[in-house]
Amino acid sequence: MSYQAEYLCSVERPAHFWAEKAEALPWYKQPQDILSQDNEGIYHWFEDGEMNTTYMAVDYHVDNGRGEQLAIIYDSPVSNTKSTLTYRQLQKQVALFAGVLKSQGIGKGDRVVLYMPMITEAVIAMLAVARLGAIHSVVFGGFAPHELAVRIEDAEPKLIVTASCGIEVSKIIEYKPLVDEAIALSAHKPNCCIVLQRPQVTAVMHASNEIDWHEAMAAATPAPCVAVKGTDPLYILYTSGTTGKPKGVVRENGGHAVALKYSMSAVYNMQPGEVFWAASDVGWVVGHSYIVYGPLLHGCTTVIYEGKPVRTPDAGAFWRMVDEYRVNALFAAPTAFRAIRKEDPQASEMNKYDISTLKTIFMAGERLDPPTYLWTAEKTGKPIVDHWWQTETGWAICANPMGLEEMPVKPGSSTLPTPGFNVKILDSRGNELPPGQQGAVAIKLPMPPSCLTTIWGDFERFKSGYLSDFPGYYCSGDGGYIDDDGYVYIMGRTDDVINVAGHRLSTGEMEEIIAAHDAIAECTVIGVHCPLKGQTPVGLVLLKDGVDIDADELQKELVAMVRKEIGPIACFQRAVVVPRLPKTRSGKILRKLLRQIATNQEVAVPSTIDDPGSVAEIESIMQAQGLVSDRAT
Ligand code: COA
Ligand code: AMP
């Protein structure tokens, strides 16, 4: 079917469109109530359907002839390990681990936090939680104990699953002490902690409620799949908002399964049995959707890679993987390809491998800058797809729909709205803007299946953060425009969220940490252009009167504070002391204006500014400090 016909049907007759797509999945009870609204007016999909996501992703395939096909390929250059699991082996492991969880009292609706490195057991644990109708919340291993504690306190898990360590290139990161610290910091205490001991480190077990993964598995009885409703939550995934408190995006089982299954063919052009590799981490939404659920729901083989695009051991790592596992589609962040290009500009490492099985390379997590697009397209000779999405949606809002109709590429654009997403550009009053004009990127309600329906424990924040700015629309938090051909250009966040190496971080959270330093009167954190990571955070700090502190020493202390509180993943490395910050008369720092200076855009000075002279001053400081850059276009 042509893209246009498919798209029109999806926005004009959404219930009809998605009812048909839902038929591609093995429900226990096929949904009849396709699209409904609750008392608050929030849309839900497949409310009366009965299902189990793990059954759909694993057991169903074993029952239908895929038992001997590889479900998971694990490749870890950092631990020098490779292994595989067929669907049948995966089913056995998942059922056993579900048995372990069940014996610890985990059942439908209970939360389980996973703090795991990129190993097969992370996927087994996710699927085991889902098998019981419980709710997982995976926390990325690069987050520090404080961040983990905030998530534990919010999700209130009965149980935590972790491993003895993660491995960052050659650095061993012991996880258990981080988990212990997080539990100590959190007001909520889980009943139990299951620890997978890896060969590199043996974690010290302290309490009677700490359980060894292998011992528990050896004694476990397999647990069957538990039926849930289409609208029951599958997982909570925390993402950065504009404040220090992360937002727990809630994903419902039914919509998630239907959207991901559809995306595997419509967006990624994958056939069951093919090999899909998302080079991300299970701690991010890309990992949830396209390392774990999407490929398995579609009967594909998925790849778990514990390594980096470079340094493990070289810039040929991605191409080696494609060759060795006959990968058909590769999905990674643009920053990964910038890292490869930096080390191997001629792509001579690539020429050592056979990448002929690769049909398409997909990129997301940040805008695919045209130079990176052009380099990757030229060197690989493959179609390159930039697609735009968010933790909140769980799948692509805009993409080149490779399985429907390959559209001509326009570098810098994430192509066209994916079927189901009615994308509009709005001005500040909510009026639709004509082609070419930049504004807020919004999605007309109802959103398609899989998109969030609330923030865990904070429905008001969901409403005020996403649905209040433009009634009848979901506000994405991104700015951009649509051209005459309907192509969507996402130009960056309009709020205080930045994107560092494809990771979403809150500048507000960093500001809260920096403001706690004794010497600091006020501060703001902005994202500045970084040729490798897209953006990196920089603090602009104002000292308290009378404070005399060496700027380098202060920077060191602030860097250490952010690293301790958020983790190394924040990549906070610079703090610049400034004499004052531009503010409104009511004392609010003009962050938008600072963002405009940093990206060399025309600066809109609001009439409410307190001291107009502060703008020229901060502009010249930022210029002198190398904090101003045109974004690559
Ligand atoms: N556990 C613990 N620490 C971690 C971690 C994890 N899972 N992941 C990253 N870190 C640490 C790194 O060791 C590094 O620490 P350091 O400051 O002590 O060196 C810091 O966090 C920053 O990591 P990273 O941003 O990964 O930088 P890098 O220089 O190690 O690698 C890239 C640069 C571009 C290769 C890397 O960022 C990359 O591969 N990015 C792709 C991101 C991605 O897949 N995003 C998902 C969206 S699709
Ligand atoms: P996350 O929720 O971590 O996936 O981050 C989502 C944010 O990353 C979006 O709101 C965008 O700002 C940015 N983003 C992700 N993919 C793209 C893309 N293809 N083009 C532009 N921005 C993107």
Give the DSSP letter string of 576-628. EE-S---BBTTS-B-HHHHHHHHTTPPP---TTBS-THHHHHHHHHHHHTT--
What is the pLDDT at residue 630? 73
Q: Is 122 contained in some domain? A: yes
Task: State whether the beta carbon of 339 lies less than 6 angstroms from ligand 1.
Answer: yes
Residue listed under structure tokens 């089913």: 91
Task: State whether the beta carbon of 414 lies less than 6 angstroms from ligand 2.
Answer: yes
> Hey, which of 308, 390, 505 would you mutate to test ligand 1's pocket, going by the most ligand atoms within 8 Å of its Cβ?
308
Q: Is 302 contained in some domain? A: no
Neighbours of 187 (CB within 10 A): 8
Give DSSP secondary structure letters for 229-272: ETTSEEEEEEE--SSSSPEEEEEEHHHHHHHHHHHHHHTT-PPT
Please identify, among 180, 199, 226, the residue that sits at the C-terminal boundary of a domain. Answer: 226
What is the pLDDT at residue 242? 79
Cα(569) to ligand 1 centroid in Å equals: 6
Please identify, among 226, 261, 283, the residue that sits at the C-terminal boundary of a domain. Answer: 226
In angstroms, the CA 88 to CA 313 distance is: 32
H helix or E strand, kind and range, residue 151: helix 145-155
What is the pLDDT at residue 631? 58
> What 3-state class would DSSP assign to 351?
helix
**For the domain that residue 568 is a member of, what is the CATH number?**
3.30.300.30
Cα(243) to ligand 2 centroid in Å equals: 18
Cα(330) to ligand 2 centroid in Å equals: 18
**Residue 218 sits in which domain range?**
86-226
* Tens-digit pLDDT profile for residues 535-556: 999 999 999 999 999 999 999 9
Which residues, 6 or more positions from 290, have their beta carbon under 8 angstroms from its beta carbon? 276, 278, 280, 302, 331
Cα(376) to ligand 2 centroid in Å equals: 19
Overall size of the chain counted in residues: 633
Task: State whether the beta carbon of 304 lies less than 6 angstroms from ligand 1.
Answer: no
Please identify, among 192, 226, 260, the residue that sits at the C-terminal boundary of a domain. Answer: 226
Q: Is 368 contained in some domain? A: no
Task: State whether the beta carbon of 310 lies less than 6 angstroms from ligand 1.
Answer: yes
Kindly give the number of the ligand 2 atom that is closest to the alpha carbon of 388: 19
* Nearest bound ligand to the CA of residue 333: 1
Q: Is 161 contained in some domain? A: yes
For 469-495, b/e burial (b = at least 16 CB within 10 A) is bbeebbbbbbbbbbeeeebbbbbbbbb
Which residues, 6 or more positions from 546, have their beta carbon under 8 angstroms from its beta carbon? none
pTM over 0.85: yes
Peptide bond into 446 cis (omega under 30): yes
The beta strands (E) that lie in 470-570 are given as: 473-482, 488-493, 497-500, 503-506, 520-530, 534-543
Atom 45 of ligand 1, residue of closest alpha carbon? 502
- State which residues of the chain have pLDDT below 70: 1, 631-633
Indicate the Cα dihedral angle 61, 389, 447, 300, nearest 10°: -10
**Assigned token pair, 538:** 């920089």
Atom 24 of ligand 1, residue of closest alpha carbon? 569
Atom 7 of ligand 2, residue of closest alpha carbon? 390
* Nearest bound ligand to the CA of residue 498: 2
Q: Which of 87, 84, 86 lies closest to 63, judged by CA?
A: 87
Task: State whether the beta carbon of 536 lies less than 6 angstroms from ligand 2.
Answer: no
* Nearest bound ligand to the CA of residue 332: 1
Atom 15 of ligand 1, residue of closest alpha carbon? 568
In angstroms, the CA 475 to CA 468 distance is: 8
In angstroms, the CA 594 to CA 18 distance is: 43
Kindly give the number of the ligand 1 atom that is closest to the alpha carbon of 567: 21
Q: Is 485 contained in some domain? A: no
Q: Is 620 contained in some domain? A: yes
* Nearest bound ligand to the CA of residue 559: 1
* Nearest bound ligand to the CA of residue 290: 1
Task: State whether the beta carbon of 239 lies less than 6 angstroms from ligand 2.
Answer: yes
Atom 3 of ligand 2, residue of closest alpha carbon? 504
Task: State whether the beta carbon of 288 lies less than 6 angstroms from ligand 2.
Answer: no
H helix or E strand, kind and range, residue 216: helix 213-218
- How many folded domains does the chain comprise? 2
Atom 15 of ligand 2, residue of closest alpha carbon? 365
What is the pLDDT at residue 633? 35
Alpha helix (H) ranges present in 433-550? 459-462, 507-515
**For the domain that residue 172 is a member of, what is the CATH number?**
3.40.50.980
Q: Is 399 contained in some domain? A: no
Q: Is 186 contained in some domain? A: yes
Contact 504, 286 (CB under 8 A): no
Phi, psi of 512 (to 5 degrees): -60, -40
What is the pLDDT at residue 601? 86
What is the pLDDT at residue 632? 41
Task: State whether the beta carbon of 138 lies less than 6 angstroms from ligand 1.
Answer: no
H helix or E strand, kind and range, residue 374: helix 370-380
Task: State whether the beta carbon of 568 lies less than 6 angstroms from ligand 1.
Answer: yes
Task: State whether the beta carbon of 418 lies less than 6 angstroms from ligand 2.
Answer: no
**Assigned token pair, 471:** 């009634």
